[in-house]
Amino acid sequence: MEAMSEIGFAPGSLTEDEMKQLAKSERMAIHISNTANVVLFAAKIFASVMSRSLSVIASTLDSLLDLLSGFILWFTSHAMRNPNQYSYPIGKKRMQPVGIIVFASVMATLGLQILLESGRQYVNKSEPEKDPVKERWMIGIMCSVTIVKFALMVYCRRFKNKIVKAYAQDHFFDVVTNSVGLAAAVLAIRYYWWIDPTGAVIIALYTMNTWTKTVFENVYALIGRTAPPEYLAKLTYLIWNHHEDIKHIDTVRAYTIGTHYFVEVDVVLPHDMILNKAHNIGETLQEKLEQLPEVERAFVHIDFEYTHRPEHKTMA
């Protein structure tokens, strides 16, 4: 904030070419993840058929949902790259959390189905099939899938894009479920049958807990939750140091409508200041605020006093 106050722009900002290269890299990460999900899903189908383990089947169903959720995230990413200022005047960035909510909701529903199937297996006391050849195939496939998913998780975590981060979270989730599923399947074959449905229950509960949290996080982002006090304090510092003619800061608001903040500012300038000078102060302040990486849009209202009632309608 101090650097922006002194030089007038955000230090370390990406150039237009760098932003294009970053967007290209993010699209590449999405394409690689989708391709890997297709290949790994086919491999896990084979492992499920060979082992008939409920834990492995639960992990395979998760991969099926990966394909569906991957399509959802790809669609939202594609739609955001094609703005329409007439139909969507403020852009389509809100499609990002909406897509993630749909993605997370689908993932969470997997948990309930697995819980029901685990309960059925507990009742029937189903013994796993003991075949050393099939067991080796299952271990090899599941270990390979886990290693690939771990590598994809590390790769996708390099990006700040919310959609790519959702892929990274999904890859991490797969590492956990694959590991638990494989361990439960092997232990059930070699020791006790009930370890397999127990592993499936653990996967289901982890699924429901993880993606329910994700749903709530993105719902909060869509309903206009306020920025934390420390961020509002930084904005206030930047506004106050923007120009020496700013006499008073009446209002500073920052709230989420999607993944970034909308900022509303009311500042007081001298009552006898000419219009073009007041306009330039307000416009340059708006531009400075919109350079912040967390801010999508900024609205600056200029007034000559602050004793009147707020102009905006008070929401219930």
**Separation CA 99–CA 104 (nearest Å):** 9
| pLDDT band with cut points at 50, 70 and 90 for residue 73 | low
Q: Look at residues 174, 176, 136, 130 and name the one whose alpha carbon lies nearest to residue 152.
A: 174
Q: How many residues does the chain have?
A: 316
Residue 232, classified by CB atoms within 10 Å of its CB into exposed (0-12), middle (13-18) or buried (19+), is middle
| pLDDT band with cut points at 50, 70 and 90 for residue 12 | low
What tens digit of pLDDT does each residue of 138-158 get? 778 778 888 888 888 888 877
Say which residue, 147 or 36, is predicted with more confidence. Answer: 147
pLDDT at 310: 62
pLDDT at 171: 80
User: With 70 as the cut, is the pLDDT of residue 17 above it?
Assistant: no
| pLDDT band with cut points at 50, 70 and 90 for residue 42 | confident
pLDDT at 193: 74
Residue holding tokens 């189908």? 45
User: With 90 as the cut, is the pLDDT of residue 286 above it?
Assistant: yes
pLDDT at 263: 94
Instruction: Kindly state the percentage of the chain with pLDDT values over 90.
Output: 17
| pLDDT band with cut points at 50, 70 and 90 for residue 246 | very high
Cβ atoms within 10 Å, residue 188: 24
- What is the pLDDT averaged over residues 46-66? 70
pLDDT at 127: 66
pLDDT at 214: 76
Return the CATH number of the domain spanning residue range 229-303: 3.30.70.1350
Q: In what order do the strands lie in the sheet with 261-268?
A: 248-256, 261-268, 295-303
pLDDT at 19: 62
Under CATH, domain 7-222 is a member of which superfamily?
A: Cation efflux protein transmembrane domain (1.20.1510.10)
The domain locations on the chain are: 7-222, 229-303
pLDDT at 268: 93
Residues facing residue 275 across a β-bridge: none
- What is the pLDDT averaged over residues 251-280? 90
User: With 70 as the cut, is the pLDDT of residue 20 above it?
Assistant: no
pLDDT at 264: 92
Say which residue, 61 or 236, is predicted with more confidence. Answer: 236
Q: Which of 30-39, 148-157, 228-237, 254-263 has the highest mean pLDDT?
A: 228-237
In terms of phi and psi (left: phi > 0; alpha: psi -120 to 50; beta: otherwise), the region of 125 is left
- Three-state SS string over the chain comes to CHHHHHHCCCCCCCCHHHHHHHHHHHHHHHHHHHHHHHHHHHHHHHHHHHHCCHHHHHHHHHHHHHHHHHHHHHHHHHHHCCCCCCCCCCCCCCHHHHHHHHHHHHHHHHHHHHHHHHHHHHHHCCCCCCCHHHHHHHHHHHHHHHHHHHHHHHHHCCCCCHHHHHHHHHHHHHHHHHHHHHHHHHHHHHCCCCHHHHHHHHHHHHHHHHHHHHHHHHHHHHCCCECCHHHHHHHHHHHHCCCCCCCEEEEEEEEECCCCEEEEEEEECCCCCCHHHHHHHHHHHHHHHHCCCCEEEEEEEEECCCCCCCCCCCCC
| pLDDT band with cut points at 50, 70 and 90 for residue 300 | very high
- What is the pLDDT averaged over residues 170-185? 79
pLDDT at 267: 93
The region of weakest confidence among 86-95, 142-151, 202-211, 231-240 is 86-95
Tell me the one-letter amino acid at 9. Answer: F
pLDDT at 279: 94
User: With 70 as the cut, is the pLDDT of residue 295 above it?
Assistant: yes
